Amino acid sequence: MPAVVSAVDRPAEAAVDVAVVGAGPAGLYAAYYAGFRGLSAVVVDALDEPGGQVSALYPEKLLYDVAGHPAVKGRQLIDNLLEQAAPFDTRYLLGRTVVGLARRTGGWTLSTDDGGRVDAGAVVIAAGLGRFVPRRLPCSVPYEGRGVAYHVPRPEAHAGRDVVVVGGGDSAVDWALALAPLARSTTLVHRRSTFRAHEYSVRQLYASAVRVVTDAEVVACHGAQRLEQVEFRRGEEVFTLPSQALVAALGFTSGLGPVAEWGIDLEHRRIRVDRSMCTNLPGVHAVGDVCTYPGRVPLITVGFGEAGTAVNHAAVTLRPGERLAPEHSSDTFPGAGDRAAVPSASAA
């Protein structure tokens, strides 16, 4: 049984039918589906941007295996998911980690690391690989939020800047390529002589305007209020570049973190679910990469199906008498206006 957490004595920040933990593709689709079923929803994510792995690791890549999209850029897919949920009043609590899950009469209370709480009739855990923690570049830490970032949610924000990207994987190369047409200058610094990124991307990189500096390490950052210069070493030589932005694309570590302490049955650090995507805790579902069952394949399209299944089952639990299968969306699309007429389970 999950522990009752101390934060529950604060007033609820939100009281909804469905609380979704994680704003990756599966969580965002669960939020849409809740709205489609006439349920109010809140989505909480530890990252400042929605999109989970897609936004944090590969927003510029094309995906070719998402149902209904012959090819879609990661960033576009996430924008589309947000747009799909937009007719409903979904609330997004970003930059907050869900640290606790406690049973209450009629549902569950989630508590967040900033002391907030969300009361919900049902919970959908879509925590993917868990909370992402960026691998940091020690000398750049004092400039976090003042020029130093770990991913590039909106490349346009770097227009006209001198940008240094650090790293040798796909994210570093993709971001350097995305920034080059916008930034005043883009330099990619990698401590090895070869890149781990896709061969095609590396060919593009060397054909682009990106200044590529290999066998070099960033050793210092300078600037009074914000980042102004980056110093790096190559062999015995030390260079200084003007730089108003440094993107440390060194990867992320991830782990289930607090989710593992909520009394939920786990198998190999994944949440075990039944055919309704329900965990061992009644009313608590799990979808996407965080869940497991025999034969599960970790793909976005699979997570979408699981989100639909979980929310349809939650709808029946929250409103006994409702049908498991929804009306076809092509027959009746319940927009925000229609939804307002349906009383919320949490308001009851």
Ligand X SMILES: Cc1cc2nc3c(=O)[nH]c(=O)nc-3n(C[C@H](O)[C@H](O)[C@H](O)COP(=O)(O)OP(=O)(O)OC[C@H]3O[C@@H](n4cnc5c(N)ncnc54)[C@H](O)[C@@H]3O)c2cc1C
Residues near ligand X (CB under 6 A): 21-27, 44-47, 52-54, 57-58, 63, 65, 97-98, 126-132, 170, 257-259, 288-290, 298-301, 303
Max Cα distance, the chain (Å) = 74
What type of residue is 181?
P
Spatial distance between the Cα atoms of 37 and 29, rounded to a whole number of angstroms: 12
Q: How far is the CB of 254 from ligand X (least distance, A)?
A: 8
List the alpha helices (DSSP H) in 102-227. 170-179, 199-207
CA contacts within 13 A on the Cβ side of 320: 1
- The C-alpha atoms of residue 282 and residue 290 are separated, in whole angstroms, by 18
Query: What does the alpha-carbon distance between residue 144 and residue 265 come to, in Å, rounded to a whole number?
Result: 37
DSSP letter string over 42-74? EEEESSSSS-HHHHHH-TTSEES-BTTBSSEEH
Nearer Cβ to ligand X (21/166)? 21
The dihedral formed by the CA atoms of 121, 255, 157 and 141, expressed in degrees to the nearest 10: 130
Q: Which is nearer to ligand X, 131 or 339 (CB)?
A: 131
Question: In angstroms, what is the minimal distance from the CB of 35 to ligand X?
Answer: 17
Q: Which is nearer to ligand X, 24 or 116 (CB)?
A: 24
Q: Could you tell me the smallest distance in angstroms from the CB atom of residue 25 to ligand X?
A: 5
In the bound complex, which residue of the shown chain has the CB atom lying closest to ligand X? 128
Shortest separation between residue 160's beta carbon and ligand X, angstroms: 29
Looking at beta carbons only, is 137 or 307 nearer to ligand X? 307
Cβ 108 to ligand X, closest distance in Å? 14
The residue type found at 116 is: G
162 or 289, CB closer to ligand X?
289
Q: Taking the complex as a whole, how short is the minimal distance between the CB of residue 335 and ligand X, in angstroms?
A: 25
Residue number, 103 or 198, with CB nearest to ligand X: 198
Contact yes or no for 266/255 (Cβ under 8 A):
no
